[in-house]
Amino acid sequence: MANKDTVLIIPDVQIPFEHPDTIPFLKAVEKLVKPTRILQIGDLVDSHAISDYETDPDGMSPGDEFEEARKHLKKFYKAFPKVDVIVGNHDLRIYRLAFKAGIPRNCVRTLDDIFEFPKGWKLHDEIIIDDVVYEHGHNLGNGAGNNAFKKAVDANMTHTVYGHFHAAAGIRWFANKKHLCFAMNVGCLMDTKSYAAAYGKKFPTKPILCCGVVQEGIPIIIPMVLNSKGRWIGKIL
């Protein structure tokens, strides 16, 4: 395929519970790969306080969490003026809650309005760039984990990049007699020490902090390497 774009993929950041070094890390990757497009793969925000699952009673209220998310997002807007954003399942939590309460959709503000997206930030359910499908991945099935790689390619019948499964970052190639396709999971950049990530303490596999790049049709995973204190070491390996 003829590829024109170098795409930097920002993974699930779960704002305001993103890793504290997320922006410096992503800016370093941006400087290294010089992307022509930047895409956020979904779960831009966490919405922990309105989750269907157990929430931390000592955590922020929904109003406080959303206000904190707005503050954090302003830093992302300044760092990355133009971003395509895929809608993730955490981003949809407010709409599921409204639906359960019987509130019509036209009475609920849109995500870009709630979080005051700048002009250069655009929402998508999914997007195709140079024959690569970019989607969040929550439609690949709960608990799919490592099995999602093949499911992604089978569902789209082409190259696919997704997030959602924080502990399954990586790249797999699939081929038949006619086609060669990759599936790439770009992990996450969530602060695993935050109370919003406490559910993961019981799981044997842990989140992989990284981001992704598709450069001239080749998928690349770039890990955020941490020091003993859980902070980014400050360089790309």
Query: What pTM did the predictor assign?
Result: 0.94
Residues forming beta bridges with residue 39, ordered by sequence position? 9, 84
Residues forming beta bridges with residue 47, ordered by sequence position? none
CA pair distance 128, 39, nearest whole angstrom = 11
Three-state DSSP state, 114: helix
Write down the mean pLDDT value for the chain.
93
pLDDT tens for residues 49-76?
A: 999 888 999 999 999 999 999 999 999 9
pLDDT tens for residues 180-198?
A: 999 999 999 999 999 999 9
CA pair distance 160, 3, nearest whole angstrom = 15
Three-state DSSP state, 44: coil
pLDDT tens for residues 126-175?
A: 999 999 999 999 998 766 777 889 999 988 899 999 999 999 999 999 99
Contacting residues for 18 by C-beta, under 8 A, at least 6 apart: 72, 189, 190, 191
Residue 43 · residue 12 · CB < 8 Å: yes
Give a three-class secondary structure readout of 93-110.
HHHHHHHHCCCCHHHCCC
* pLDDT for residue 1 is more than 60: no
Confidence of residue 3 (pLDDT cuts 50, 70, 90): low
CA pair distance 112, 66, nearest whole angstrom = 13
User: Which amino acid, one-letter code, is at 60?
Assistant: M
Provide the token pair at 57: 């009673």
Output the pLDDT for position 2.
Answer: 56
**Of residues 200 and 14, which shows the higher confidence score?**
14
CB atoms within 10 A of CB 144: 18
Backbone φ and ψ of 21, nearest 5°: -105, 15
Which of 134, 130, 94 lies closest to 110 in space, CA to CA?
Answer: 94
